[in-house]
A and B are shown apart, each in its own frame.
Chain A
Amino acid sequence: MGSGLEGRFPSQDKGEDNTASPLSYHEILDKLCPDYMAMGLTYEQYWDGDPDMIIAFRKAFRLREKQRKEQRNTEMWMQGMYFYEALIDVSPLFRDLLKNPKAIPYLKEPYPLDKEEQEAREKRDTEKKDKETQAKFKAWVQRANRIRAEREAKAKEGENNG
């Protein structure tokens, strides 16, 4: 040590074994350094950083880990839902009593992840249904007009012939 700390410390003066106690401060700090580096703290940040920064870093790490676990948990749950739905969809194929077993088509797209997406999809589906209904109605009107026109034409033809 360069700046005169040697001989300043009581246990050094008495020639005591500094490692006799369970864990001295430097041993604790040495031991935990790799743990903090594994969390993402740099060597310099760990040794020279503000203690409050280290506390904040550990809390942030915990928070990140919690969020990661929650996300993973949700993903796993979601996967289970997809398996569950897929099994239901193919289950008709495994029923002996059905004469013409037919699987239900699997989902065309993943589940919506949030309310916003859910509402957007509902809106989109409603608009699609409305367009289909309009198209059907239009086709029905056109067909009805055509039939009426044909009938009228036939009636006129009959009058002309008669």
Chain B
Amino acid sequence: MADQIKITTDEGKDWTLAFNNRSVRRMSENGFKIEDVWERPIIGIPALFHGAFYVHHKGITPEMTDQIWKTIKGKEALVGQLVKMYQKPVEAVLDEPEENGKNATWEVV
């Protein structure tokens, strides 16, 4: 089971944040790129946050997600988790080479 995030608001309302192929496709088609989160965070982060509602709460408006966003604590960690979750569907469909000891390696230098 892929990661999901559960948000409970002050009013006791639960929201489940998740991504699947359809929601990622929809966001990407609408122009969202994951780099927007750190290159243009003012609009990138709200877009990522709003898109995370699509799987379980299709009808939610940006105004509502903005309202929820304002009340959330630990935003940095949440964004980090959402970035990972957003990338998961694409990583899932991209075929990883089999472990046979002949795989190329890479490192940041």
Which A residues lie at the B interface, using CB under 8 A? 1-6, 8-13, 16, 18, 21, 24-30, 32, 36, 46-52, 54-55, 58, 62
Shortest Cβ distance from residue A40 to the other chain B in the assembled complex, whole angstroms = 15
Contact call A18/B29, Cβ cutoff below 8 A: yes
Q: Please, which residues of chain A bring their CB within 8 A of the CB of B62?
A: 4-5, 8
B30: which A residues are within 8 A, CB to CB?
1, 5-6, 8-9, 12
Interface string of B72-103 (1 = CB under 8 A from A): 00000000000000001111111100100000
What CA separation (Å) do A74 and B3 show in the bound complex?
A: 42
A12 pairs with B31, CB closer than 8 A: yes
Select the residue from A9, A12, A13, A36 with max chain B CB neighbours within 10 A: A9
The residue in chain A whose Cβ has the minimal distance to the Cβ of B61 is: A4
Give the distance to chain B from A129, nearest Cβ to Cβ, in Å. Answer: 49
Nearest-Cβ distance from residue A48 to partner chain B, whole angstroms: 6
**Cα distance A47–B23 in the bound complex, in angstroms:** 8
The prevalent SS among residues of A at the interface is helix
Which residues on the B side are within 8 Å of A26 (C-beta)?
Answer: 24-26, 28-29
The total number of A-B Cβ pairs within 8 Å is 115
If A5-B26, A54-B92 touch, whether A46 touches B1 (CB-CB below 8 Å) is no
Dominant secondary structure at the B interface: helix
Q: Is B2 an interface residue (CB 8 A)?
A: yes
Cβ-defined contact, A29 with B27, below 8 A: no
Selected A-B contacts with CB under 8 Å, 7 pairs? A3-B59, A11-B33, A13-B31, A25-B27, A29-B90, A47-B25, A49-B20
Quote the shortest CB–CB distance from B100 to chain A (angstroms).
Answer: 12
Across the two chains, which residue of chain B brings its CB closest to A5?
B30
Please give the residue numbers on chain B whose beta carbons come within 8 Å of chain A beta carbons, in ascending order: 1-2, 19-22, 24-34, 36, 39-40, 43-44, 46-47, 50-51, 54, 58-63, 88-95, 98
- B20: chain A residues at CB < 8 Å are 47-51
Contact B1 A10 (CB under 8 A): no
A3/B58 contact (C-beta < 8 A), A9-B36, A52-B1 known: yes
Give CA–CA (A102, B108) in the complex, Å.
74
With known contacts A26-B24, A47-B20, A52–B2 Cβ distance under 8 A? yes
Residue of B nearest to A21 (CB): B33
